[in-house]
Amino acid sequence: MTLSTNAASEPKSHRPTPVPSPQYASTGLDVWTMMNQVAASVNAVNLGQGYMSYPPKEFIKRAAQEALVENTHNQYAPPRGRPGLLEQVGIHFANRLARPIDPSSELSIHAGANEALLSVFTAFLEHGKGQEVILMEPAFDQYTPNIIMSGGKPVYVPLRVQCADKDPAKDVISSHDWKLDMEELEAAINENTRIIVVNTPHNPVGKVFSREELEQIGAIAARHNLLILADEVYEHLTYGVEHISIATLPGMWERTVTVGSAGKMFGVTGWRVGWSVGPAELIQPTLSAHTRIVFTSNTPLQEGVASAFKIAKENDFLNIQCQEYERRRNRLMAIFDDVGLPYVVPDGAYYLLVNAAAIKIPSDYQFPDFIEERGANFKLVYFFIKEFGVSGIPPTEFYSEPHKHLANDYIRFAFCKTDEGLDEAAKCLQSLKRYLQETS
């Protein structure tokens, strides 16, 4: 009698199974899915994830619809991008950066700004070399995995609140009060450092870096011959302050790749169209990486964005949209003024960091294991959703482990929402007053 070597005949418990990479083997729910599910369980007003709860303007939707019916718009686009969109992005950045932009060599269209970021990291980091990227915390949560996938190591330098005359747990403060210690930044640089990521306007703080701050960062990058990756997806959303692209500063164009987003610019985050802009010497390797990651971005929506750019200039869309966001920002700030919670006034983007240190969570409150294991900030946000019916995002998700304590008292809310949604949030939040305690 011969023994069977057929794996199908072996007991199931003894069969070997493929082993995933440790980076993804134990990955749980991402914070967005987790908090969206908690919000859905109580039908909460969703001010968490930064998607728009209102439809795009008609001219934007019409641009995509018209692009879809053109037969030639339903096949592969060139990896660099459709000529019409390259032209429009080139015009936009020629005005923004006050320099001519060659769409044939200084631009690349991507499958969203996140893929543009990944393409830059892939192009400028090598596996096995221990190369490092400086991130300023709180940092958008996609930066770290993108860097690791590209073979790099993230190094974190936090923004710190500096306002001696105010207590953030009691007082409204400005996003400009969140400062980068330039000595701490430079001390984090060594012979392995390759890139500094500069996110302005900043998610989630809403800080718009000043010219002086950008000059200091640029000088440090120049001293150490570092690439600057400028994440400027909220470039068109600033409130009473000027957005300055670091690429416009003397000597910075040559070492900067600037990333932007049609999703943020036109309120169509699901379209996944973004771009990278910079000197040909930096864009060519970025394009090469992009070609191997996704090959190209979808054709009809590239054409839709190109048309939207043209019409937006004619109807002053970006300025009008910015005014609408500022009104929503002011409405959400007024809501928290009314219930007695302080916040960080954002100068840009569409998020409000609220300091909820004054909320007293009952000591016997029961949290599910998937929240309990994530720490105090997740518990605060979960309590907020369950008890008050308004969802936010725990900003500790934007920090490395050593710095999470800096955000334990905060909740991030998005104000890219309808007036009806904000009004409903105002009603729901009235119930939190009974949980307020005196902070010391």
**Residue range 285-299, pLDDT digits in tens:** 999 999 999 999 999
φ, ψ at 176 (rounded to 5°): -70, -15
438 pLDDT band (50/70/90 cuts)?
Answer: low
Q: What sign does the dihedral 157-159-165-167 (CA atoms) show?
A: negative
pLDDT surpasses 60 at 439: no
- Predicted pLDDT of residue 440: 43
Tokens 């747990």 identify what position? 169
Query: Of 328, 357, 349, 322, whose CA–CA distance to 426 is shortest?
Result: 328
51 pLDDT band (50/70/90 cuts)?
Answer: confident
pLDDT surpasses 60 at 8: no
- Predicted pLDDT of residue 270: 92
Window from 67-71, 97-101, 258-262 with minimum mean pLDDT: 67-71
First-to-last alpha carbon distance for the chain, in angstroms, is 81
- Predicted pLDDT of residue 164: 87
19 pLDDT band (50/70/90 cuts)?
Answer: confident
Beta bridge partners of 391: 46
How many Cβ atoms from other residues are within 10 Å of residue 26's Cβ? 7
pLDDT surpasses 80 at 437: no
Q: Give the whole-angstrom CA distance, residue 270 versus residue 247.
A: 28
Q: Give the whole-angstrom CA distance, residue 394 versus residue 89.
A: 34
Which whole number is the average pLDDT over 266-280?
Answer: 96
- Predicted pLDDT of residue 385: 95
